[in-house]
Amino acid sequence: MTTTAVAVPLPLVQPRRSAVRAVRDAIAVSGRNLIAYRRVPQLLVFSTIQPVIFVLLFTYVFGGVVSTSLTVPYVDYLMPGVFVQTVVFGAIGTAVGLATDVKSGLLERFRSLPMARSAVLAGRTLADLTRNVFVVILMVAVGFAVGFRVHTSFALLLAGMLLVLLFGYSLAWIFATLGLATGDPETAQAAAFPVMAPLVFASSAFIPVSTMPGWLQVWAAHQPVSVTANAVRALVIGGPTTTYVLQTLAWCFGILLVAAPIAVRRYRKTV
C-alpha cells in the first residue's frame, strides 16, 4: 500500500478544564433528568400526591388520637414530619432514575463520551434536589391550607426546609447505589421500600416516639428521620434547637461521607 498523507478530520470539540467540565456536565445531565420529571408525570405524582394523602389521612383520621398527648395542634406536629417523609420517598426517584439509565444502556453510551465521570451521579442527585425544593414548597402550601402555623419566624421555617433538603440530598446517595446495583426500575422500587419503611414509620415523623414500645423507642428516637423531624419541629414550633440541628447535620454529613464513595465506586463498576 502506498503511503498517502490522509488529512484526519478534527472533531468539533473544545476540551475544557476538568473543574469547568465537571460543573457543565453535571448541569447538562441534571437538566435532562428534570425534563423527564416534566414529561413523565407519574414520577412526580408519586412524590407529591402521596404525601398530600398522608397529610389528609393523619390530620383528619388519626389526628384526634394523637393530639391528646401533645401541647400544640397535631397539624403543627405533623407537618415537619411530612416534609421529611416527602424527601425520603423522593429518594426512591433517585434509585429508579439511575436503574432506568442502566437498563436502557444510556449509561453505557455516557461512558464512551468525553464527559466528566462525576456528571451522572452529580446530575442525578442535583436534579432530585431541585425536585425536592419544588415538592417541599408544595407541601408547605398544603400544610398552610390544612391549618399548619409557624410559631417562630419565616427565617426559621426556611432554615428547617434547608435542613430537610440537605437530609434528602444525603439520602439520595444511598438510593443511588441501590439503583445502580439493581439495574432495573421495578426491582429498584421494590428494593427501596424495605429500606425506607422503617425509616419513615418507626420514627417521630407522624406520632410521638413515647407512644411506641420501649424496644422500638431506642431506634425511633435516634434514627435520622426522627432527628431531622425533631429539628424542624423545634425550628418552627420553638424550644431548644441546637442539639437537634447538630444531630441532624451529623447524620447528613455522616451519610454523605459513607454513601457517596460507595455510590461512586458502584458507578465505576456499572456498565
Partner 1 sequence: MADVAIRVENLVKRFGPVLALDGVSFEVPFATVFGLLGPNGAGKTTAVRALTTIIAPDSGRAEVIGHDVVHDADAVRLSIGLAGQSAAVDENLTGRENLRLIGRLSQMPGRRIAPRADELLERFELVDAADRPVRTYSGGMRRRLDVAASLMHRPPVLFLDEPTTGLDLKSRGELWNMIRELVSTGTTVLLTTQYLEEADRLANRLAVIDRGKVIAEGTPGELKTRLGATVIEFGYGDARQVARRASELLAQRLPGQPESDGSTVRITSDDGSRVVVDALRALDSEGLAPVAIAVREPSLDDVFLALTGHHAETTDDNNSAHRGGS
DSSP assignment, residue 57?
I
* Site track for partner 1 across 207-246, x = CB under 8 A: ----------------------------------------
Instruction: Tell which one of 92, 96, 99, 119 touches partner 1 (CB under 8 A).
Output: 119
DSSP assignment, residue 203?
S
Which residues, at least 6 apart from 76, have a Cβ–Cβ distance to it below 8 Å? 148, 149, 151, 236, 237
Report which of 164, 153, 158, 184 is spatially closest to residue 51, judged by C-alpha positions.
Answer: 164
Considering only residues 18 through 57, tell me which ones interact with partner 1, judged by CB under 8 A: 21, 24-25, 28-29, 32, 35-36, 39-40
- Residue 254's region, left for phi above 0, alpha for psi from -120 to 50, else beta, is alpha
b/e map of 118-140 (b: 16 or more CB within 10 Å)?
A: bbbbbbbbbbbbbbbeebbebbb
* Site track for partner 1 across 75-114, x = CB under 8 A: -----------------------------xxx-xxxxxxx
Q: Select 10 or 61, whichever has its Cβ closest to partner 1.
A: 10
Q: How far is the CB of 110 from partner 1 (least distance, A)?
A: 7
Q: How far is the CB of 45 from partner 1 (least distance, A)?
A: 15
Q: Which residues bind to partner 1, rule: CB under 8 A?
A: 1, 6-16, 21, 24-25, 28-29, 32, 35-36, 39-40, 104-106, 108-115, 119, 271
